[in-house]
C-alpha cells in the first residue's frame, strides 16, 4: 500500500501494480523485494505475474542520476498449478536504462521455489502474506489534510483503536538476494534503488506502468484518483515531472501551516521535497536497514513506513497505533524472507 492502484492501467490489471519496495541486509548480502498484485484489488483481480511484463530493480551507484545496474525479472504463462516460469537477466552500464537491451541471463526456474544464480545470487517469486500494515482510516484523513492544506480530522479514531486494513491480505513478491561476494554489488556500496513494472506495447516497445522508490509518496502526494499520479508513473526519477518539487513542497507547507507544526512552513516544505526527490531509496550495502524520521537507509520488512512518512510530512510525531510485532507472521528472518502462501487457482 505504500504505492497502490494509482494509475488506470494498474487498476485494470493488478499484476502490474507495485505495492511496496524493501531493501535490507539478508543472510548473505543485499536483499531487494518488490511486492505487486495485492489481493485487496478485489475479486476480479488476476492471479500471478503478468507474462508480457517486465519487473525491474533499478540500482544507481554513488548518487548517479541514472541506473547503472538493472535486474530484470520476467515470467511465463501460469500452468494448471498456478506456477510460472521465471527468468532473471542483469543489465549493466548504459544497457541498464535501455529497454532494447537484453542483458545477460543469470538464473531460471519456477515460481514458489528458490532459484540459484552465480556468485551466491538467490531469487524467489510467488504469492506471500503482505507485510505492510496501516489503518486506511488514518491514511485517508491525512491524505485529505495534505491535499486541502487543512487540519487533520479523525473524529472517533485514535491509535488505540487502530486496525490494519491489510491484515490477512496477500501480495506477489519478487525477492532477490545479491551476495556480498557478487562483483556487481559488493558490501559497503552507496546505492539508490527504485522498481518499475513495464508492459510490452503493440509497436514493439515498452511502456512504464508503475514505479516506486520511497514508500507512501503516492498515497500522500499523488492520490489514486488523479491524472497527475498516472503521468508521474511514466517518467524516470531523474526526470520528475515539471514542478514536482514545487508540488510536494506546496502540499507539505500547506498542511504544516494548517496544523501549526512549523514556524516557517514554506522552508520546511522545501526541505521535505529535497529529501524525497529524486524518488530513489538510498542504502549502503552491508549496513542495517533503517527507514526512520532522521534517516532513510533502505527499508526493512518490519518497518513502520506510514508512521515515518506521516511524521515527516506533518513535522510532528504521528502514531499509527500499530507495531511490527503485531505482524511478525508476515515475514521471516531467513530466505526468502517472505512468508509464502499457496498460489491462487
Residue 130: exposure state from Cβ atoms within 10 A (0-12, 13-18, ≥19): buried
DSSP letter, residue 249 = H
- What tens digit of pLDDT does each residue of 120-155 get? 999 999 999 999 999 999 999 999 999 999 999 999
3-state secondary structure 202-232: CCCCEEEEEEECCCCHHHHHCCCCCHHHHHH
In a domain, 307, yes or no: yes
In a domain, 342, yes or no: no
pLDDT for 242 beyond 80: no
Place of cell 522545501: 270
CA 324 to CA 125: how far, in whole Å? Answer: 23
Q: Are 180 and 262 in contact (CB under 8 A)?
A: no
Q: What single string gives the DSSP state of each residue in 115-175?
A: EE-GGG-EEEEEEEE------HHHHHHHHHHHHHT-----TT--GGG---TTTT-EEEEEE
In a domain, 90, yes or no: yes
pLDDT at 8: 77
pLDDT for 167 beyond 80: yes
pLDDT for 226 beyond 70: no
CA 127 to CA 129: how far, in whole Å? Answer: 7
In a domain, 338, yes or no: no
* pTM for this predicted structure: 0.96
CA 78 to CA 112: how far, in whole Å? Answer: 12
Backbone angles phi, psi at 45, to 5 degrees: -65, 140
Q: Are 70 and 90 in contact (CB under 8 A)?
A: yes
Domain count, the chain: 1
In a domain, 345, yes or no: no
Q: Are 173 and 54 in contact (CB under 8 A)?
A: no
Q: What is the mean pLDDT of the chain?
A: 94
- What tens digit of pLDDT does each residue of 64-112 get? 999 999 999 999 999 999 999 999 999 999 999 999 999 999 999 999 9
Place of cell 497502490: 4
> Residue 260 corresponds to which cell in the numbers above?
501549526
In a domain, 275, yes or no: yes
> Residue 181 corresponds to which cell in the numbers above?
561476494
In a domain, 39, yes or no: yes
pLDDT for 224 beyond 70: no
- Determine the structural domain holding residue 173 and report its residue range: 8-330
pLDDT at 225: 57
In a domain, 343, yes or no: no
Where does the pLDDT of residue 222 fall: very low under 50, low under 70, confident under 90, or very high at 90 and above? confident
Rg (CA), the chain: 19
Place of cell 512552513: 265
Amino acid at each position: 500500500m505504500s504505492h497502490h492502484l494509482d494509475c488506470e492501467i494498474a487498476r485494470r490489471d493488478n499484476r502490474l501494480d507495485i505495492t511496496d519496495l524493501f531493501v535490507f541486509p539478508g543472510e548473505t548480502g543485499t536483499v531487494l523485494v518488490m511486492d505487486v498484485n495485492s489481493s485487496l484489488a478485489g475479486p476480479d483481480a488476476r492471479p500471478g505475474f503478468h507474462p508480457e511484463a517486465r519487473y525491474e530493480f533499478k540500482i544507481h551507484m554513488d548518487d548517479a542520476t541514472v541506473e547503472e545496474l538493472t535486474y530484470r525479472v520476467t515470467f511465463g504463462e501460469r500452468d494448471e498449478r498456478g506456477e510460472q516460469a521465471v527468468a532473471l537477466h542483469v543489465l549493466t552500464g548504459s544497457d541498464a536504462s535501455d529497454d532494447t537491451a537484453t542483458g545477460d541471463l543469470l538464473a531460471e526456474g519456477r515460481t514458489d521455489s528458490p532459484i540459484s544464480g552465480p556468485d551466491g545470487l538467490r531469487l524467489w517469486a510467488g504469492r506471500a502474506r503482505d507485510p505492510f500494515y496501516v489503518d486506511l482510516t488514518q491514511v485517508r484523513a491525512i491524505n485529505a489534510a495534505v491535499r486541502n492544506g487543512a487540519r487533520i480530522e479523525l473524529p472517533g479514531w485514535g491509535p488505540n483503536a487502530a486496525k490494519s486494513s491489510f491484515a490477512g491480505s496477500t501480495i506477489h513478491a519478487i525477492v532477490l538476494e545479491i551476495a556480498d561476494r557478487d562483483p556487481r554489488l559488493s558490501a559497503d556500496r552507496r546505492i539508490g534503488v527504485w522498481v518499475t513494472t513495464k508492459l510490452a506495447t503493440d509497436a514493439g516497445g515498452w511502456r512504464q506502468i508503475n514505479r516506486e522508490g520511497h514508500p507512501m509518496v503516492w498515497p500522500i502526494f499523488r492520490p489514486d484518483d488523479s491524472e497527475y499520479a498516472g503521468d508521474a508513473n511514466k517518467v524516470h526519477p531523474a526526470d520528475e515531472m515539471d514542478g514536482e518539487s514545487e508540488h510536494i513542497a506546496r502540499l507539505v507547507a500547506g498542511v504544516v501551516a494548517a496544523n501549526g507544526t512549523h514556524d516557517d512552513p514554506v522552508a520546511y516544505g522545501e526541505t521535505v521535497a529535497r529529501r524525497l526527490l529524486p524518488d530513489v531509496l538510498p542504502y549502503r550495502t552491508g549496513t542495517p536497514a533503517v527507514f526512520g524520521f532522521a534517516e532513510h537507509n533502505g527499508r526493512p520488512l518490519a518497518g513502520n513506513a506510514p508512521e515515518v512518512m506521516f511524521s515527516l510530512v506533518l513535522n510532528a510525531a504521528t502514531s499509527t497505533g500499530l507495531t511490527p510485532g503485531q505482524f511478525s507472521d508476515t515475514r521471516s528472518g531467513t530466505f526468502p524472507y517472505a512468508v509464502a502462501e499457496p498460489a491462487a487457482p
